[in-house]
Structure 1
Amino acid sequence: MTSLYFLGKSALTACLYILILRLWMQRVRVNFYTPFTQFIVRITQPVIGPLRKAIPSIGRIDTATWLLLYLFALIKIIFICHYGIINTPIWSSEYLLYALAAIAHAFGYLLFWLLLFRAILSWISRGQSNADELLAQLTEPFIAPIRRIVPPIGMIDISFMIFVFILMFLNRFAVDIFGYLWLLL
């Protein structure tokens, strides 16, 4: 039973990551002609394309993708609460709030991993690859404000460490608010 729980939770988390990446790449207007961005668009287009016909965008807000992201987060919360360790009813109105927490959780962890990959890739490729350019486009809006306050010290840029520390603090704060559920997400 735990292997099926792990498989279901991992699949739903991967869906959240892919949808968040699609929205995030649209928001920061990354180069959509790289293999990774084409992969994200192609894997989501069969679902989002028809959904966009039924649910049009509002200005620059891609409401169809946001709705699908929220739906997957809600399914993940119901899955975790029903099949996980927490004994809760199959449906509760609290799940609607917890779905937003699941999106925030997934976004925070995705941001952490992208920052880590960007830091490691900066040591290896030194900004010469498409992946490095994509990671910079995705993470620079978060790092740049910190870099303005704390400029690089010689060749060492500590803005990444400061931002990761902020992410770790927010993660601990969310544990205080949501308790054990946050740890299960």
Structure 2
Amino acid sequence: MKHIGLSIALLAFSAHSYALELTSNDINEGQLMSSKFEYNGMGCSGGNLSPQLSWKNAPKGTKSFAITAFDPDAPTGSGWWHWTVLNIPADTTSVAQGASGKVNIGLETRTDYGKPGYGGVCPPEGDGMHRYQFTIWALPQAKIDLPSDISPAVVGFTLNKMAIDKAVLTATYVR
């Protein structure tokens, strides 16, 4: 009986240690983001840089990745999409700080700011702390055939429907 328990514990540890993982040199889980990642417009005056992101332990069958950044606390009734990137090649394991719009990292689709590319954090003043969920999605297709002006909600639906795995890094911001 002792060996069965140990085997189950090792199996659980093994399964956990190979889960898709998302990290960043720029943002940390549960911590405030720097103003260099804040939007420049709509009352905000940040640097509007996309953060550096790295991922590892992609599951078997991954043929591409996607990145999203979403604020579930935006006072819209439906959150706010800050970044959606599709068709990131399967051999990619990171994006550099400020890569959005400057480097071909994949298909950057429209955000809730109305245009493709990273749109930085910009919670309304006095609205309290907002969470920003940066997600890496492991996908079973090399290419998702969506136009760059597609609604971010459709991108989110598509990714949730087809993802093999995902990892989330949640940072915060307040104004």
What's the TM-score bracket when you normalise by the shorter of the two chains?
under 0.3
Which has the larger Rg? 1
**TM-score between both structures, scaled by the size of structure 2:** 0.25
Q: Which has the higher contact order (CA 8 A, sep 6+)?
A: 2
Going by fraction, where is strand more abundant, 1 or 2?
2
Going by fraction, where is helix more abundant, 1 or 2?
1
